[in-house]
Amino acid sequence: MKATGIVRRIDHLGRIVLPIELRRKMEIGTEETLEFFVEGETLLLKRYAPACTFCGGNKELKEYNGKRICAACLNELKTEESG
Ligand SMILES: [Zn+2]
């Protein structure tokens, strides 16, 4: 991970502005959705891209107990369960 040297204060409503130079560099548009990730003391922001918990694929996703699963993995699970 690389430090950008950019520091921003969170306002009294808990908001933070993504600096234009970062949005340009990362090609983040104004209508995009970002997802928060936490690892220890680190907070990461990534472009929101729903993916299967098991294979990382994004085709025909379904949600179960807050986790996403694709049709292919779901079929594999069903097959294992019955076989
Ligand atoms: Zn999958």
Q: Is the pLDDT of residue 83 over 70?
A: no
Our CA angle for 34, 40, 43, nearest 5°, is 25
Per the confidence metrics, is the pTM higher than 0.75? no
Q: Mean pLDDT across the stretch 54-73?
A: 94
| 65 Cα–ligand 1 center, Å | 15
56: CA distance to ligand 1 center in Å? 6
pLDDT for 42 equals 94
DSSP SS3 for 63 = strand
Q: Which residues pair with 45 in a beta bridge?
A: 36
In the chain, domain spans: 1-48, 50-83
At the second CATH level, the architecture of 1-48 is Ribbon (2.10)
pLDDT tens-digit series, residues 22-33: 999 999 998 899
Ligand 1 midpoint to CA 68 (Å): 8
Q: Could you tell me the distance, in angstroms and rounded to a whole number, from the CA of residue 46 to the centre of ligand 1?
A: 20
Distance, CA of 34 to CA of 26 (rounded, Å) = 12
